[in-house]
Structure formats: structure tokens, C-alpha cells
């Protein structure tokens, strides 16, 4: 059995970067790659390896700039309306089209609109012209020897045109730096293989390869190698022969890390192993000969982050151009986040403009949650010396998508329902420029988000225990001063999800208190949890009697997954979630799931578009197909709260 | 002979766009292309054709999240420092590495750091643990059936990872729309061919192809076709069979335009021919069957602009995603620009941050000047109903490069010298993140630009007629209240440039008044023009005696090109320009060319870096190699104006 005997540094990020890049600079590794000669027409997006000076002028001859006749200006002097001058073709003039060379003896062009053919090859003109009218002189665009583009310039379409116009057929560009990626880990299996417990789909190399390509490098994905020191060492040596830089994707277990770090240290120099960042701490930075070699951690978020911090600047330096600077905006944190002193954290956030400000909601912080990178709109850095971020604190966000996309995002916060996923996808189909982002914080969380101005709408299914009415009583109680439009999204069946075949024979809520039943609950404020509490109250059962009452998940699907995986026997949730994971379902109660939209957002163009999608027959059809949903009121306004919003206090 | 019998519309841009896109929408052309199925690993940058839902959960089993031992939590209850609990391998625990599946009977993992092996396969623990510690439960990252990415989503590296993790090997993406480009024009020759007058290098197709690629399309460049109606018609029909959209690059002459418009009208529907924009007026918008067909004008700037206005939105619609929105910034016009009422002009501008504001300087407005697209930092739209822009007017600029590059630009305005091109290229080599932008407005223009706060420095060679001193008297006279640092760039030889072999036998300034000599002058305010005026004064020659005194060019190279092209016999300029175009040179006077830098900019980091490049031996060596330059004072401070800048008025 392997034991963790790897000593990890906890080096501050700036120190690690300095150490790594200074070592590489001193070793002469950071220079741009040598030039390669390309056909100009194949050089789009490449970086010039030397300045390009024009070999010829453009135009390379005096060219007519209009369709008309070429003449000697002196032949036109004195012409006016009462004394037109006649010119004869072949003697005084020659017809020219735009781009034709100026014939000998001529020094100007008269536009075709200004001549009056009078037959016999003669034309009349009624005004004189100056020399060099309607001409493009030699070099008007480009003069031979002139600089067209400097060295270290990324070639755009117009640059290709100018370089061709300047008489070049080829151009010297930087060779793309080749980056070898070595996946390591005995547990890795290729995508598409049948999986058994413990197998991990090897997808990191595709993510890393994608980054390398986007940063202008050329990728060489090596065959994956198991956790065997000699084999890893051999694969690294092969990679060193073929690439400008080597990335060992080090697996996440200590054994795998150990091999990688030892291998770098044996073949070259391991400069850093362990940086005070989260995620990404176990990154390794080293050099073997004149090649940078990095151990990139196995957890996908750690991998993506450390690639951005170390490989991105490296690749741009190897191309001679500065790395693009990410766009940044200021946002306000929607929730408090606690962070460890001494570690710089890179927090993934969802963003949305709500009225005057952009709100940032933290996503899952787990290093293994690649969906947090898929869902994230940006990254907030929490400095090493800060203990975290307060709710309402202003933060700078490095954007992962353009700012205008953030502006076009409808933010739904509150209870989770699978139809929200469906809605997000359908909206994107009808309105590609529009985004729907949903954060799952439970129904009460959604109301609080509306109160704090952090969402455009809240998804909720809150049953009032006194009136039996859904949602409206809660809006009146918690948002009495806001004008709210409540729109039904769906009616849905809530019930108990149990494993296929119902092995514990659960028949209803009362069985949840059985000692052999392990329950999994939703978080406080979730409508589903309120429903459970109501039912328990009706049956006179105390929450303490239920094993697992305190274990909380944030979504229906997470509860379903816990049941499917066997870590719980039962959980309350919706039929669609049970169906999705092939669970049995014992109906408990139907309920209304509505969207509460403050009036000021109800009139937003983006919100109107989203509501129009909800009202399509196609959306309703897809919802019904999920099972457990009733769309008879979908898209209807259930309630429009007048509040004080239309009165004198607003 | 062809005659212009094409009737051009002058349709407002918005009307033309509406007409074109509504016609295409009604004809069902604007829908995204049909899906194609790709290996996920090859799908970077592609657009999803349908939503991707997870097929499997990730992790797909309960996985250890740490290296350690897997146990049943209940076996640990009661452990503390005084009552350690012993566990036996194989009976109470199993060693697990990160990622290993949770063994049967276990429900938690204890980190390796927290166990104390005591030999005989036994370990001691000194605290109890809770169920589900240090575990990644099934679906922690992705739950089966969950939405990973919606339809119409551009795939980023992290998306590929999540899709693979969700159990997919393939993904349905939009087929790239194929755009055929047909270059037309008898005058076109391929790059690299020997040129004769009238030949035009066919480079437009490379520019257009580059745009199509950058916008996600696939390019099909067809063989060029001469101005022959039947052949154009045939080529268009071939293109229609192979592409989703056809671009006829229509040549710039009326004949070529005529063929193109007739061909579209005959085979389909010519919707628009002539839009009230500058450049780009003669653009044609049409439809043949279910294919959009566009006649893109031949002048390169018209071509680039009309591609942006019509083909870019078209291509994005055909992919189901919104076109990226260009970044915009506010700037202040440095010069007045007059524009025609009724035409929407797209003005190319150079930008630079000078102190608090960004200054926009207009570039050449010629539709044939592709270098204006190469040099441009952005585009200012002058609405059809405006007569132009005033100097100092605030304008919105659509950026052609990221805003941070504008921030890192040193703006040199004033007299032109070839060493400024060289400097721009060398600076980019030493400091890839730094840009040097030079605008050529003559020495006096440079001083005025400093006065108005539109440049970081001015390049000048102004001879004071009273003292014989260069530059300093002018700075004292025109910028008396500014602290200025004057740095020598070069000393250079001014002289008369004449055609090779000096066919007119010009020996000095006095020959310029000969009636058989046609002169070409520099613009008012240019140091070279002042030098001429001084020499004329000394010789008692009136400017009126010189033929061509009023014909002005803005750069040495433009003057040299006019002489080389034979449109003038002589012009005053520098030896380097004469050498570059193989002209003879009659020396007139050496002069100082200096950079005047206001103190507040002299201390900018960017300016310091630029000056450090001027001081390198390599730069000086390259300058000397041009001929006609003396670098003995290059980089030296010639004068430091105290002014009132360090006194009490500042």
C-alpha cells in the first residue's frame, strides 16, 4: 500500500510564478519558437516572426479610380457650358475602367457621367479638370519598403490582404509551440468504454488540449500511462523529444503525484511542488533540459485553473505575444463565502445584471466539479490574506464570457425544477442571444434573493399551512411592498423516491421514521422540505425520529442520486427526478411551481422573451414528456400583487 | 467600350438589412445548418445542435475524495485521545486512494494523515468520524439526465470535459455554413505573378476567406473568372451547388458590377444594389433559390466593411448563435471630418490614451486603402444625417483590437520619418505588449497635437530661420507653458529626390523653377516644406514660380513614390526614401529630427520602455543601415524645457 510521503510546499502564487518563469528565462526557454515560412493565404491567426515591409507599391502603376476617359488636363482648360470642348477618342482621350493604367500622355481621368458622346468617336465636356483627378497614384495604398505589419503581430484577414498587395507570397511566422500532454493513472479509461466502479473517464486531456489550442499551441496527446514509475519516466522522455513543453496530468492520488514529482526531479529540476492556491494546490513546476515540465493536478477544476495560471503565459511567451487580458467587471457578492487564510482562492461565480448592479453567486467550490467551470461566468480571486467575502461586498470578476452575454441573462433563483434546465435550453434555441441562469437555493432562498435584488425572478412552491394556498401568502408576507407578478411554470407531483423495486417496502411518510430507513432531506427553505414538515406535523411525527433528516441536498436530482447510489433509502422529490434515475415513486401531493417576478423585471425585454418561450406548445409538450407534470396553467398569470408598488410610496 | 448603365440605389443601411434578412427569413434560409455528429474531442469551438444531457453520473460510484482508509463510521464512535480505537485491515478498514470506490460495508473515509499504524495490519484513530466524510458521492459533479450544455452553445475546453464525463463520446454540432467566394475581373492576377501595368493582385479572396473563417464558416474559394457574363453565370451556378451562400467579389469597374448584378437578377432575385454607406456603396444583396448571394465590391475597404455588415450576421444566424458584439469605447476626435449628408460613413481611426481621454485620429478614407484597415484601431460611424464630426467631438468607437492594447500604445504625431516604422517594429519585439502608433501630420501638426493633448510625443525637424537652431525655438514659442523633454531620434540628410539617372539634370533648389520641372511638395507645416521655403527665400525664388508647389503629399515615401512613378520630376525628402525607391538624391541640408515629449508623458512606463529601445545598439545599427542617417545623438536629451511647468502655475 502506498502512503502519502510527498512533502507539499505551500508557496505563494506570485513567488511560484517568479521562480518558474525566471528559471525558464535564464535557461533561455522563454524565447519565441523559430520561424516557419507559410503561404500568406494559410497564415491567418499566426504570429509574424519578423516585420513585413512592402516589396512593391500598391497600386504599382497610376490607376484610374473611376470609369471614364483618360485625358491630358491641359486639353480641357477653358471648357464651360457655353464653350464645350470636343475630344476625339484615340487622339485626345481613351476610355478607361476603374483600375486601368493611365495611358501615356494622360494625366487625369474624367468620370463617365461628365462626358457627352456626340458620335463619330467624339465626346464633349463642359468643365475643365485638374491634373491627377480621379486617379490612384502609385503607392497610394502601400509604398514599397513601407512597414506593413511589425514582428510579433497576430495576422488578421486585412493583414493577409496588405501583405499580398505588398508583393509577398510567403510570410515568416512563429512555429506553434508543441505541448505534450501525458495522462497518468491506472484508474483511467478512455471515453466510451464500459465503466466499473473505480474507473475514471479520461477527459482531462481533452480539456487541457482545448486550452493549448485556444492559446495558439499545437497539442500532442500521448497515450495514457498507468501508475508505474518506470513507464511514466519513459513516456516523459518520449514527450521531451517531440514537444517544446510537457504536461503530466498527474492523477489525483498521492501515489500518482509521487511518481510525477520524482520523475521531474530525477530527469531535471523540480522547482515547485505545491502552491498556496485553491483549487490547484498540488501543481508541480519544473524544467528538464530546455523544456518546461509541469505536473498538472488530476481534479478537473484544479487542472483548468493551473493551466490558466502557468501554461497560458508560458505559451504566449513562446509565441512572442502578450497573453490576452481577460475582461473584468465589478459585481456584488450575493452570499457570504468563507476562505482559508494563507490560500488564494479562485471562486467560480454565476453573474447576472439585476437592475443597477451585477450580482455574483458562488458556485460549487469542489475541485472535482467540472460543471462549476461549465456554469461559471467568471472567477473571483479571494486574496490569501482575506478570510473570505461578505454578502454585498464589491468584487472584481474576471469574465469567462463576454460582458454583453452577462447583460442578456435572466437570473432565476430559488427552488430547483428540471423544467428550468429545459427552459434554459429552449430559450437559447429561440433567442440565441439570451441566457437563462438558475441558482438553486430553495423556495425561501429565492424570496430572499428577490428581497435583496439578486434575481429577476424566483422559482417557488411554498405551501401555506393555514390556507392551503401556494406561494401568494408567502409573497404577501415577505415582500409586502413589492409589486410581483406570479406566473405558473408547472404543476408537479411530489412523492417519496425509493430504490427500484422498493426494497424497504415504503408506503408513505409514516414509514420514514422506521429505524431501517435512511432518509435524505432537502435544505432548509426548500418547498419540498416544507411539504415534508407539514406532512410530519399532520402525522404527529417529530423530525428527530427520522434518520438522515439533517443530511441536506440542494436539488431533486441530488436527492435522487443519493437514493440511486444507495447512500439513502428514501427522499422526497418530484416524479421527473425519480424517472430520470429509474427510481420507484410513491406520490405524496401535487403542488404548484410558480415564478415570482417583480414588476420592474416583468417588463424587461429579456423576461418577456423568456415568458413567450414558456407559452409555446413545444415547451409544454416537452415538459409533459418528462412525466409527473401538468401544464394546464403553464405561462398563466396566477396572481398580480398590487402592493404599494402602484401606490404613493413608489 | 462598356458604359456605366447600372442604376445604383442609395438605400439606407437599416432598410437594406431589413429587406435582405426578411427575404431570407421568409425563404427559410436563416435557420441553422443541419447537425453533424463529431467525436467530442474534435468539437472544440463548434456549436451544439441540440442540448446535451448527461447519460451517466459523475462520479458514477461513491469515490474516496482523499487517500486514506475506508471504514464504517459506527466503528469509530467513541474514539478520543485517551481512548484510541484500533481498526484492523481487511476486517474494519481498507486502504483507499483518491478516486477509489468505497468498499462494501464502509460509509466514510479517514484521511491518511489521521491514522497511526501500529503494526500487524492495525491502525489507531483518536477521533470519531461522520458518515460520508471525504467522499465524492455518485453524481456530485454531474447527475445523469442533467443538462450539461444547451443547444446553440459554443463548446469550450471545459464543456468537452463535462460532456465526456457525462458519458458521451460524440456530440451533435451545427455543420459549418459553406461560403463560396468568386473573384471576378479580367485584371486580376494571382499573388506571385510578374505584374504589368493594369494587373491587380487578387488578394481580396484571402481577406474575405479570413473573415468567413473567423466567423465560423467554411470557405470555398472558387477559381477567378474574367469579365464575361456567361462565365460568371456559370461559375455562380457551380458555387450554388457546393455552398450555403455565395459571394461574388464584383470587381470595381462598372462593367464587372453590371455582369454581377445582371447575373443575380437573372438566376434569382436582386434585392438591393447600392446602399447609402461609405465605403461600400455598390454592394449587392440577393437570393438565388434558397441561397443568399452577395456582390461584394472590389475595393478592399468596401469589401471588408460590407462583409462585416451583411455576411457576418448571416453566418452567425446560419450557426444559430448571436454574432459577437464588438467592444466599444468613447473617444475624442482629434481633427474635423466632413462627411456627406445622406451617407452613413464608417471612418477608420487610430486611437491612443493621452492622459484622461482617448483620442481618435482619422485614417485615410479611400476605399482602396487596405492599409487603413491594417492601421485602424477602430471604426467611428458618422450617421447619414450628420455633416461630419468636429475636432474635440465625443464619439463612440467600435474597437478592432482589445481596449487594453489601446491603453498600451505610445502615440507619436508629427513629421514622418522611416525610422518611426523601424522603431514601432523593434518596440514590439522587445515589448510585445507595447504598441507605437504614428500619425503623419507634419512637424507643426505635431506641436499642435501636443498643445491639444492628442499625442504623447511629437516628431519634428523645424529649423528656426533666425537662429539656425532646430525645434527648441518652436517649442518655446508654441508651448511656452509646458515642460518638454526633447530627445534626438536621428540626424538626417534632406535633399532633392529625382528619377534614376537624373533625366532633367537637376542640380539644386534653383532648378525647381524651371518650366520643364514638375515638383511635388509636402503639406503645410511639414519641416521639409519649411526647409524648402527657407531655401527659396535665400535664393529669392517665389513659390509661384515652382510648378507643382501646391500639390501636397503627407510623407517622404509618398513624395518619393510620386517621383518614382513619374507624376513629378522632383521632390524634397530624405535619403532613405530616395534609396528605398531607387531614386537619385541631391543633398540640400542635414537636419535634426527630434521627439518632443511633455514631461507628464516622459515619465510614463510605456514611454520609458520605448526610449530604452531607441537607446539599444541594435536599433541604431538598423537606422544607420538605411543610409542618410547619423545616430551620434540618438536617444540623447537635447533640451529639457523648464517652462512654468515646475513653477508655481502648475
Say yes or no to pLDDT of A458 above 60: yes
Q: Are residues B538 and B465 in the same domain?
A: yes
Q: What ipTM was predicted for this assembly?
A: 0.90
Cβ neighbours around B398 below 10 Å, total: 16
Q: Which of A329, A290, A283 lies closest to A304 in space, CA to CA?
A: A283
Which residue does chain B place closest to A407, by CA atoms? B325
Distance CA B636, CA B615 (A): 8
Q: Is residue A2 part of a domain?
A: no
Q: Which region holds residue A185: left if phi is over 0, alpha if psi is between -120 and 50, else beta?
A: left
Q: Are residues A244 and A116 in the same domain?
A: no
Residues of A in contact with B160 (CB under 8 A): 203, 206-207, 210
Q: Are residues A454 and A592 in the same domain?
A: yes
Burial class (CB in 10 A: 0-12, 13-18, 19+), B612: middle
pLDDT of residue A647: 34
Distance CA A549, CA A520 (A): 6
User: Which of B7, B146, B149, B370 is the best mutation test for A, with the most CBs of A within 10 A?
Assistant: B370
Say yes or no to pLDDT of A520 above 70: yes
| pLDDT tens digits along A83-122 | 999 999 999 999 998 889 999 889 899 999 899 999 899 9
Q: Is residue B323 part of a domain?
A: no
Which residue does chain A place closest to B430, by CA atoms? A320
The model's confidence at residue B73, banded by pLDDT at 50, 70 and 90, is: confident
Q: Which CATH number belongs to the domain containing residue B447 in this structure?
A: 3.40.190.290
Q: Is residue B19 part of a domain?
A: yes
| pLDDT tens digits along A112-157 | 989 999 989 999 999 998 878 898 888 889 988 889 999 999 999 9
User: Are the Cβ atoms of A149 and B325 closer than 8 angstroms?
Assistant: no
Say yes or no to pLDDT of A528 above 80: yes
User: Are the Cβ atoms of A65 and B368 closer than 8 angstroms?
Assistant: yes
Whether B554 and B416 have beta carbons less than 8 Å apart is answered as yes
User: Which of A35, A136, A164, A434 is the best mutation test for B, with the most CBs of B within 10 A?
Assistant: A164
| pLDDT tens digits along B551-580 | 888 788 889 988 988 889 999 999 988 988
- CA of B51 vs chain A CAs: smallest distance (Å): 6
| pLDDT tens digits along B476-490 | 999 998 899 999 999
Q: What is the mean pLDDT of residues A593-611?
A: 96
Q: Is residue B189 part of a domain?
A: yes
User: Are the Cβ atoms of A165 and B206 closer than 8 angstroms?
Assistant: no
Q: Which of A418, A194, A372, A428 lies closest to B142 in space, CA to CA?
A: A372
User: Are the Cβ atoms of A67 and B150 closer than 8 angstroms?
Assistant: no
pLDDT of residue A4: 45
Pairing, β A637-640 against β A484-498: antiparallel
pLDDT of residue B642: 61
Partner residue opposite A95 with nearest CB, options B1, B113, B320: B1
Say yes or no to pLDDT of A497 above 50: yes
Say yes or no to pLDDT of A74 above 90: no
User: Are the Cβ atoms of A366 and B425 closer than 8 angstroms?
Assistant: no
Q: Which of B108, B123, B23, B111 lies closest to B63 in space, CA to CA?
A: B108
| pLDDT tens digits along B502-520 | 999 999 999 999 999 999 9
Residues of B in contact with A62 (CB under 8 A): 565, 567
Map grid coordinates 490612384 to a residue.
A136
Choosing from B86, B111, B136, the residue where a domain stops is B136
Residues of chain B above pLDDT 70, percent: 97
Q: Which CATH number belongs to the domain containing residue A80 in this structure?
A: 2.170.190.11
Q: Are residues B236 and B296 in the same domain?
A: yes
Residues of chain A above pLDDT 90, percent: 76
Residues of A in contact with B3 (CB under 8 A): 112
Whether B293 and B276 have beta carbons less than 8 Å apart is answered as no
pLDDT of residue A649: 33
Q: Which region holds residue B242: left if phi is over 0, alpha if psi is between -120 and 50, else beta?
A: alpha
User: Which of A110, A134, A162 is the best mutation test for B, with the most CBs of B within 10 A?
Assistant: A162
Which residue does chain B place closest to A60, by CA atoms? B197
The model's confidence at residue A2, banded by pLDDT at 50, 70 and 90, is: very low
Say yes or no to pLDDT of A627 above 90: no
Choosing from B399, B420, B437, the residue where a domain stops is B399
- CA of B42 vs chain A CAs: smallest distance (Å): 9
What's phi and psi for B358, nearest 5 deg? -100, 125
- CA of B467 vs chain A CAs: smallest distance (Å): 35
| pLDDT tens digits along A314-354 | 999 999 998 999 999 999 998 899 999 999 999 999 999 99
pLDDT of residue A254: 67
Residues of A in contact with B1 (CB under 8 A): 95
Partner residue opposite B161 with nearest CB, options A58, A136, A206: A206
Extended strands (E) in A407-549? 409-414, 435-440, 457-460, 484-498, 519-522
User: Are the Cβ atoms of A557 and B60 closer than 8 angstroms?
Assistant: no
What stretches of B215-325 show up as alpha helix (H) in DSSP? 229-242, 254-267, 300-306, 312-319
Beta bridge partners of B381: B346
User: Which of B98, B402, B433 is the best mutation test for A, with the most CBs of A within 10 A?
Assistant: B98
Q: Are residues A231 and A280 in the same domain?
A: yes
User: Which of B207, B405, B574 is the best mutation test for A, with the most CBs of A within 10 A?
Assistant: B207
- CA of A177 vs chain B CAs: smallest distance (Å): 17
Q: Which of B457, B471, B468 lies closest to B595 in space, CA to CA?
A: B457
Say yes or no to pLDDT of B296 above 50: yes
User: Are the Cβ atoms of B148 and A564 closer than 8 angstroms?
Assistant: no
Q: Are residues B339 and B365 in the same domain?
A: yes
pLDDT of residue B179: 98
Tell me the count of A-B CB pairs closer than 8 A: 348
- CA of A514 vs chain B CAs: smallest distance (Å): 19
Write out the DSSP string of A103-171: PTT--EEEEGGG-EEEETTEEEESS---TTTTEE-TTSSB-TT-EEE-TT-BPPHHHHHHHHHTT-SEE
User: Are the Cβ atoms of A371 and B404 closer than 8 angstroms?
Assistant: no
pLDDT of residue B2: 43
Q: Are residues B499 and B563 in the same domain?
A: yes
Q: What is the 3-state secondary structure (H, E, C) of A427-453?
A: HHHHCCCCEEEEEECHHHHHHHHHHCC
Q: Which of A157, A145, A64 lies closest to B203 in space, CA to CA?
A: A157
Q: Is residue A8 part of a domain?
A: no
Hey, is A287 helix, strand or coil?
Answer: strand
Whether A76 and A115 have beta carbons less than 8 Å apart is answered as no
User: Are the Cβ atoms of A141 and B402 closer than 8 angstroms?
Assistant: no
Count of domains in chain B? 5
Say yes or no to pLDDT of A645 above 60: no
Q: Are residues A217 and A344 in the same domain?
A: no
User: Which of B3, B116, B141 is the best mutation test for A, with the most CBs of A within 10 A?
Assistant: B141
Q: Are residues B206 and B303 in the same domain?
A: yes
Q: Which CATH number belongs to the domain containing residue B361 in this structure?
A: 2.40.340.10
Q: Is residue B649 part of a domain?
A: no
| pLDDT tens digits along B524-537 | 888 899 899 999 99
Which residue does chain B place closest to A581, by CA atoms? B144
Among A19-23, A160-164, B551-555, B580-584, the least confident range? B551-555
Q: Are residues A536 and A554 in the same domain?
A: yes
Residues of B in contact with A99 (CB under 8 A): 185, 187, 198, 200, 251-253, 298
Hey, is B77 helix, strand or coil?
Answer: coil
| pLDDT tens digits along A369-389 | 999 999 999 999 999 999 999
Say yes or no to pLDDT of B645 above 60: no
Query: What angle (nearest 5°) sits at the alpha carbon of residue A482, between those of residues A478 and A486?
Result: 85
Q: Which of A402, A400, A424 lies closest to A411 in space, CA to CA?
A: A424
Distance CA A339, CA A503 (A): 42
Residues of B in contact with A58 (CB under 8 A): 201, 370
Q: Return the CA Rg of chain A.
A: 35
Q: Which region holds residue A611: left if phi is over 0, alpha if psi is between -120 and 50, else beta?
A: alpha
The model's confidence at residue B248, banded by pLDDT at 50, 70 and 90, is: very high
Whether A168 and A182 have beta carbons less than 8 Å apart is answered as no
Partner residue opposite A565 with nearest CB, options B138, B157, B366: B138
Residues 6+ apart with CB under 8 A from A478: A447, A448, A451
Residues of B in contact with A213 (CB under 8 A): 44
User: Are the Cβ atoms of B425 and A147 closer than 8 angstroms?
Assistant: yes
User: In whole angstroms, what separates CA B114 from the centre of its chain?
Assistant: 57
Distance CA B434, CA B431 (A): 5
Residues of A in contact with B548 (CB under 8 A): none
Q: Which CATH number belongs to the domain containing residue B260 in this structure?
A: 3.40.980.10
Q: Are residues A165 and A276 in the same domain?
A: no
Q: Are residues A492 and A564 in the same domain?
A: yes
Q: Which of A39, A102, A44, A108 lies closest to A71 in space, CA to CA?
A: A108
pLDDT of residue A148: 95
Q: Is residue A6 part of a domain?
A: no
The residue segments making up the domain with residue B525 are 409-640
Say yes or no to pLDDT of B61 above 70: yes
| pLDDT tens digits along B16-27 | 999 999 999 999
Distance CA A294, CA A273 (A): 10
Cell numbers for B517, please give them: 520641372
- CA of B624 vs chain A CAs: smallest distance (Å): 16
Write out the DSSP string of B517-584: --EEEEPTT-HHHHHHHHHHHHHT--GGGSTTTT-EESSHHHHHHHHHTTS-SEEEEEHHHHHHTT-E
Through-space distance between the first and last CA atoms of chain B, rounded to whole angstroms:
69
Whether B251 and B302 have beta carbons less than 8 Å apart is answered as no
Q: What is the mean pLDDT of residues B319-333?
A: 93
Residues of A in contact with B150 (CB under 8 A): 424-425, 428-429
Q: Residue B65, preceding bond cis, omega within 30 degrees?
A: no
User: Are the Cβ atoms of A140 and B366 closer than 8 angstroms?
Assistant: yes
Q: What is the mean pLDDT of residues A296-313?
A: 96
Whether A221 and A212 have beta carbons less than 8 Å apart is answered as no
Tell me how far CA of residue B131 lies from CA of A319, A402, B88, B113, B126, in angstroms.
51, 42, 19, 18, 16
Residues of A in contact with B564 (CB under 8 A): 57, 138-139
Pairing, β A218-221 against β A291-296: unpaired
| pLDDT tens digits along A190-221 | 999 999 999 999 999 999 999 999 999 999 99
Say yes or no to pLDDT of A416 above 90: no
Cell numbers for B135, please give them: 467522499
User: Are the Cβ atoms of B300 and A158 closer than 8 angstroms?
Assistant: yes
User: Are the Cβ atoms of A2 and B97 closer than 8 angstroms?
Assistant: yes
Which residue does chain A place closest to B303, by CA atoms? A158
Residues of A in contact with B418 (CB under 8 A): 145
Which residue does chain A place closest to B95, by CA atoms? A1
| pLDDT tens digits along B122-153 | 999 999 988 788 988 888 899 888 899 999 99
pLDDT of residue B6: 53
| pLDDT tens digits along B382-412 | 999 999 999 899 999 999 999 989 999 999 9
Mean pLDDT of all residues belonging to chain B: 92
Q: What is the mean pLDDT of residues B632-636?
A: 96
User: Which of A106, A134, A147, A158 is the best mutation test for B, with the most CBs of B within 10 A?
Assistant: A158
Partner residue opposite B206 with nearest CB, options A2, A41, A60: A41
Partner residue opposite A322 with nearest CB, options B162, B210, B433: B433
Q: Is residue A238 part of a domain?
A: yes
Distance CA B450, CA B355 (A): 12
pLDDT of residue A650: 30
pLDDT of residue A73: 87
Residues of B in contact with A150 (CB under 8 A): 424-425, 428-429
Choosing from B341, B373, B399, the residue where a domain stops is B399
Map grid coordinates 523645424 to a residue.
B462
| pLDDT tens digits along A227-240 | 899 999 999 999 99
Amino acid at each position: 500500500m502506498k502512503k502519502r510521503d510527498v512533502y507539499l510546499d505551500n508557496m505563494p502564487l506570485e513567488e511560484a510564478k517568479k521562480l518558474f518563469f525566471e528559471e525558464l528565462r535564464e535557461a533561455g526557454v522563454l524565447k519565441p519558437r523559430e520561424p516557419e515560412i507559410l503561404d500568406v493565404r494559410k497564415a491567418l491567426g499566426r504570429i509574424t516572426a519578423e516585420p513585413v515591409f512592402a516589396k512593391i507599391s500598391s497600386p504599382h502603376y497610376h490607376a484610374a479610380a473611376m470609369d471614364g476617359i483618360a485625358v491630358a488636363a491641359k486639353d480641357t482648360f477653358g471648357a464651360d457650358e457655353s464653350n464645350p470642348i470636343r475630344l476625339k477618342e484615340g487622339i485626345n482621350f481613351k476610355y478607361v475602367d476603374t483600375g486601368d493604367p493611365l495611358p501615356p500622355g494622360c494625366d487625369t481621368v474624367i468620370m463617365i457621367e461628365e462626358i457627352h458622346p456626340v458620335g463619330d468617336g467624339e465626346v464633349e465636356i463642359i468643365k475643365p479638370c485638374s491634373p491627377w483627378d480621379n486617379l490612384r497614384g502609385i503607392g497610394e495604398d502601400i509604398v514599397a519598403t513601407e512597414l506593413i505589419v511589425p514582428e510579433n503581430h497576430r495576422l488578421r484577414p486585412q493583414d493577409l490582404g496588405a501583405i499580398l498587395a505588398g508583393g509577398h507570397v510567403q510570410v515568416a511566422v512563429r512555429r506553434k509551440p508543441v505541448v505534450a500532454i501525458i495522462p497518468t493513472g491506472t484508474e483511467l479509461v478512455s471515453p466510451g468504454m464500459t465503466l466499473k466502479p473505480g474507473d475514471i473517464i479520461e477527459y482531462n486531456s481533452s480539456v487541457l488540449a482545448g486550452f493549448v489550442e485556444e492559446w495558439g499551441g499545437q497539442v500532442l496527446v500521448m497515450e495514457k500511462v498507468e501508475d508505474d514509475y518506470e513507464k511514466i519516466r519513459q513516456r516523459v522522455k518520449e514527450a521531451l523529444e517531440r514537444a517544446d513543453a510537457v504536461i503530466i496530468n498527474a492523477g489525483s492520488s498521492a501515489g500518482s503525484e509521487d511518481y510525477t514529482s520524482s520523475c521531474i526531479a530525477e530527469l531535471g529540476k523540480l522547482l515547485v511542488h505545491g502552491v498556496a492556491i485553491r483549487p490547484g494546490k498540488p501543481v508541480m513546476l519544473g524544467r528538464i533540459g530546455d523544456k518546461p515540465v509541469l505536473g498538472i493536478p488530476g481534479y478537473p477544476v484544479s487542472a483548468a485553473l493551473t493551466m490558466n495560471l502557468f501554461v497560458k503565459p508560458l505559451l504566449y511567451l513562446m509565441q512572442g505575444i502578450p497573453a490576452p487580458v481577460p475582461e473584468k467587471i465589478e459585481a456584488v457578492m450575493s452570499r457570504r463565502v468563507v476562505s482559508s487564510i494563507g490560500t488564494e482562492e479562485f471562486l467560480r461565480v454565476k453573474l447576472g445584471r439585476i437592475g443597477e448592479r451585477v450580482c455574483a453567486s458562488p458556485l460549487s467550490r469542489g475541485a472535482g466539479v467540472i460543471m462549476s467551470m461549465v456554469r461559471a461566468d467568471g472567477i473571483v480571486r479571494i486574496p490569501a490574506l482575506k478570510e473570505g467575502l461578505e454578502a454585498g461586498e464589491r468584487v472584481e470578476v474576471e469574465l469567462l464570457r463576454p460582458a454583453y452575454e452577462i447583460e442578456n441573462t435572466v437570473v432565476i433563483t430559488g427552488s430547483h425544477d428540471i423544467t428550468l434546465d429545459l427552459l434554459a435550453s429552449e430559450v437559447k434555441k429561440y433567442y440565441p442571444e439570451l441566457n437563462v441562469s438558475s441558482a438553486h437555493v430553495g423556495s425561501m432562498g429565492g424570496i430572499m434573493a428577490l428581497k435583496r435584488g439578486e434575481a429577476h425572478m424566483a422559482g417557488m412552491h411554498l405551501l401555506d399551512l393555514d390556507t392551503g394556498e401556494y406561494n401568494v401568502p408567502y409573497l404577501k408576507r415577505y415582500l409586502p411592498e413589492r409589486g410581483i407578478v406570479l406566473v405558473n411554470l408547472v404543476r408537479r407531483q411530489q412523492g417519496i423516491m425509493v430504490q427500484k423495486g422498493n426494497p424497504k417496502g415504503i408506503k408513505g411518510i409514516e414509514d420514514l421514521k422506521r429505524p431501517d430507513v435512511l432518509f435524505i432531506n432537502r435544505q432548509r427553505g426548500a418547498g419540498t422540505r416544507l411539504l415534508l414538515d407539514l406532512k410530519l406535523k399532520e402525522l404527529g411525527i417529530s423530525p428527530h425520529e427520522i434518520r438522515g433528516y439533517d443530511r441536506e441536498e440542494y436539488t431533486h436530482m441530488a436527492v435522487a442520486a443519493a437514493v440511486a447510489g444507495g447512500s439513502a433509502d428514501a427522499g422526497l422529490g418530484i416524479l421527473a427526478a425519480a424517472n430520470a434515475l429509474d427510481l420507484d415513486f410513491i406520490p405524496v401531493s401535487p403542488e404548484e411551481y410558480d415564478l415570482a417576478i417583480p414588476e420592474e423585471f416583468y417588463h424587461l425585454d429579456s423576461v418577456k422573451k423568456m415568458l413567450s418561450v414558456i407559452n409555446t406548445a413545444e415547451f409544454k409538450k416537452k415538459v409533459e414528456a418528462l412525466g409527473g407534470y401538468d401544464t394546464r396553467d403553464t405561462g398563466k398569470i396566477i396572481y398580480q400583487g398590487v402592493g404599494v408598488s402602484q401606490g404613493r410610496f413608489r
